[in-house]
């Protein structure tokens, strides 16, 4: 069974609305991308991925 992820970044909220509609229509998991400061370590990236 495959899983679908909708990941987005929205500065004004417009993309968030579209992403939420798309995820709902597709039965997908949705997450908002977070900007990471500087050059994150592998551990930081793995920790972020595990939150999805």
Q: How confident is the model at residue 2 (pLDDT cuts 50, 70, 90)?
A: low
Q: How far apart are CA 16 and CA 12, in angstroms?
A: 8
State pLDDT tens for residues 10-27: 888 999 999 999 999 999
Where do the domains of the chain lie? 5-49
Distance CA 7, CA 32 (A): 6
Q: How far is CA 19 from CA 4, 30, 34, in A?
A: 12, 8, 15
- Nearest 5°: the CA angle 35, 40, 42 is 125
Say yes or no to pLDDT of 1 above 60.
no
The pLDDT-based confidence of 46 (bands split at 50, 70, 90) is: confident
Lowest mean pLDDT across 6-15, 19-28, 37-46: 37-46
Rounded Cα distance between 48 and 24, Å, is 23
């Amino acid at each position: 069974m495959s899983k679908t992820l909708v990941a987005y970044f929205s500065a004004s909220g417009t993309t968030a609305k579209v992403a939420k509609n798309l995820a709902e229509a597709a039965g997908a998991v949705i997450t908002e991308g977070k900007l990471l400061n500087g050059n994150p370590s592998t551990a930081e990236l793995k920790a972020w991925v595990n939150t999805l």
